[in-house]
Structure 1
Amino acid sequence: MIKTRPSQNWLFVLVLLVAHYSLAQNLDGITGVRDSSYTTLAAYTKDVKKHPGIKVVTEFRFNDVKESRNIVYSILGNRKLLLDVFQNTTKSQVPRTAIVIIHGGGWRTGDRTQHYPMAQKLADLGYVCFTPEYRLSTEALFPAAVFDLKAAVRYVRANAVEYHIDPDKIAVLGFSAGGELASFLGVTANMPLFEGNCMGNEQPSTVNAVIDIDGILSFVHPDSGEGNDTNGISAATYWFGFPKNDNPVLWETASPLSYVGHKTPPTLFINSSIERMHAGRDDYIAVLDKNRIYSEVHEFRDAPHSFCLYHPWFQPTIVYIDLFLRTVLDK
């Protein structure tokens, strides 16, 4: 368990950005009330109209998978951040690969329980899976979620012996907003600006592989739909507290594409048919290729954005994840 306090580095930079643009950050989105608008049922109700054959993936019950839920991984004042652990109980002489699974929901809604089926299935294959919660934009703005998830990675690494995992084989996987966050963790490992101040844990926040499921790579890319507030405030605008045009530097600062380079981990992209959810992907891969870093792209051309929550795409997604991790981490 990690105790944290706000990053003074980030607060200093934020003050400079605000001063530069002479605007106050909009905090109206911090309601203190959890936004429950994005649920699996809500997504299904919308998507089944165009995809009548889909079925929601429900939780599995595997005899060899042990589940430990609601574990405190970090404390911020009176706020306790929780995660769940799914691990295979069959004996293994070799420490296992860990997968940190980050839920989506536009940095504002969604819930870690939506990916329990994925965590259960991957645990059945031999991985140790962690599903952390993180502060959404109803509670705290960017980069609070980044601080939280890096604390989760540190927790996993610090407890490698207890969970029988290899601390050099930690993958981070995310869907939608979680995919963007997973990629961001991959490209900003141990970067002081985005670490937060962690007390009592000197573990690095490095991840060894990234799996981005329909998460954008850039908030300022021409293909990104974030920042269009014409028909209502966009998810990213809520998360940053600034419209894109009022503080483009901040929007660029929060984009994984801004940091991809020779230290970026191998990355798997699994995408739907929604083009705007691929924003920045090709540019990102070009940098990976230049640095001879392994990547894969798999695209379900007929799939809705929330495809990983449904059959028939769930099982192929699991197969892609497993084969990728076997390739880059040798499981």
Structure 2
Amino acid sequence: MKKNMKVKIERECWSLVTNITYATVPYWYNATFRDLKASIVMPKVRESGMRYPLLIWICGGAFKVMDKDVWWPQWMEFARKGVIVASIEYRTSNEAVYPAALIDVKSAIRYFKENAEKYAVDADNIFIAGESAGATLAALTGVTGKTDCGMEDSDNGNEVRGVIDFYGVVDMAFGGITDNSNLTAGAEEQFIGVEGNRSELIREASAVNYISKHSPPFLIFHGTEDHMVSIKQSDMLYEKLCEAGVRADYYVLEQEGHGADAFYQQGIMDIIYDFVQSIAEGR
């Protein structure tokens, strides 16, 4: 069969680019170095000068493991609606404890701001999102963007416009170290390590301790049947943000557990898209 067609172009093509080096970090007892990688979905053609909001995604894994590319099937269609998505690698606890992973996330933000033209990114509209351990890092990144908290810098080069938190830990002290209904077993120790002033490290690694009127807007998702990270974590985050006068949109998913498929359905993606667009457009 032969048939002539005239196809209406209704959407542009987007490309997935993997293995972008965004930072180099110490490795193997600090004697060598390795690259940290990111993957990004962006417009295939970028010569028009158009700029798009960027959402940086952080995979979870109890701070022990992570895979920057495992969530791409969920984010691909979201990206094609007009928000660039980058998924980043970070150092897990077997390689370096807190604040290494947080420094990595902030390095990724600065990298994409500095290379905004290359990737068609609107440098003034960068958002951070994560699930579980990734959400812990996303929340910390969001609330410390304008705070000199003794990490690697305070130049505000890592500020974000908004945070999307999927069932993250925001208070390392809440519920106690051995409370498995609150944290994945051993995750807190994995994150901050076992050396140094533990009480001070727990305080520093808890996003709730940095919330102020300057914190960016938050979009929070948590399930009522989460037995790995207590929903009380997100309840507390929401209450603290409201007390500070910060926009906080909180969606409680009834009868859903940790990492359930319900969190990545089209309706949830639509909520995230509306959140990003409303902030990017100043609504």
66 and 85 in structure 1: CA distance in 2 versus 1, 3 angstrom threshold: same
What secondary structure does 2:194 align onto? Answer: coil
Residue 74, structure 1, aligned to residue 23, structure 2: yes
The equivalent residue for 2:13 is: 64
Contact 2:211-2:241 at 8 Å conserved across structures: yes
Q: Which runs of 5+ in 2 are unaligned?
A: 1-10, 27-32
Pair 1:184-2:136 in alignment: no
Aligned to 2:186: 234
**CA, structure 1 residues 237+312, in 2 after alignment: closer, same or farther (shift >3 Å)?**
closer
Distance in 2 separating the partners of 1:121 and 1:63: 13
| Aligned-residue offset at 1:143 | 0.7
After the TM superposition, which of the residue ranges 269-278 and 168-177 deviates more from structure 2?
A: 269-278
- Tell me what 2:7 maps to: none
Is 2:229 the counterpart of 1:270? no
Q: Which amino acid aligns with 2:41?
A: F
Whole-Å separation in 1 of the counterparts to 2:259 and 2:18: 24
Distance, in Å, in 1 between the alignment partners of 2:150 and 2:70 is 26
Q: CA deviation at 1:278?
A: 2.7
The letter of the residue matching 2:250 is V
Give the TM-score, by structure 2 length: 0.82
1:160 CA displacement:
1.0
- Indicate yes or no: 2:274 matched with 1:323: yes
One-letter amino acid of the structure 1 residue matched with residue 141 of structure 2: L
Q: Deviations over 1:216-249 (max 9, x none)?
A: 2111123xx65448xx9611112222399x8222
SS at match of 2:213: coil
Distance (Å, rounded) in 1 between the aligned partners of 2:185 and 2:251: 31
Matched, 1:113 2:69: yes
Equivalent of residue 136 in structure 1, options 92, 107, 117? 92
1:211 alignment partner AA: I
Q: What CA distance in whole angstroms lies between the structure 2 residues aligned with 1:188 and 1:178?
A: 15
Q: How does 1:1-331 map to 2 (within 5 A)?
A: 64-77=13-26, 78-89=33-44, 94-193=50-149, 195-196=151-152, 204-222=157-175, 226-228=177-179, 234-242=186-194, 247-273=198-224, 274=226, 276-307=229-260, 310=261, 313-330=264-281
Deviation string 1:104-160 (CA, Å, 9 cap, x unpaired) is 011111311122123312211111111110000011111100010100000111111
Q: Flag the 1:102–1:292 CA change in 2: closer, same or farther, 3 A.
A: same
Matched residues, number: 260
Letter in 1 for 2:281: D
- In 2, Cα distance between the equivalents of 1:277 and 1:88? 38
Q: 1:313 to 1:133 in 2, by over 3 A?
A: closer
Quick one: which amino acid aligns to residue 277 of structure 2?
R
CA contact (8 A) 1:150 1:195 kept: no
Task: Give the partner amino acid of 1:84.
Answer: S
SS of 1:70's partner is strand
| Deviations 1:268-313, CA, capped at 9 Å, x for gaps | 0011221643343333323322333211111211222112xx3684
TM, length-normalised to structure 1: 0.71
Deviations 1:40-62, CA, capped at 9 Å, x for gaps: xxxxxxxxxxxxxxxxxxxxxx9
**Cα contact 1:217–1:278 (8 A) shared by 2:** no
Contact kept in structure 2, 1:215 and 1:278, CA below 8 Å? no
Structure 1 residue 267: Cα displacement:
0.3
Query: Aligned in 2, Cα 1:317/1:226: closer, same or farther, shift over 3 Å?
Result: farther
Percent identity for Structure 1 against Structure 2: 24
Structure 1 vs Structure 2 CA RMSD: 2.8
Closer, same or farther: CA 311–213 of 1 in aligned 2, 3 Å: closer
Partner amino acid, structure 2, of 1:175: E
Cα distance in 2 between the residues matched to 1:247 and 1:327 = 40
What secondary structure does 1:280 align onto? helix
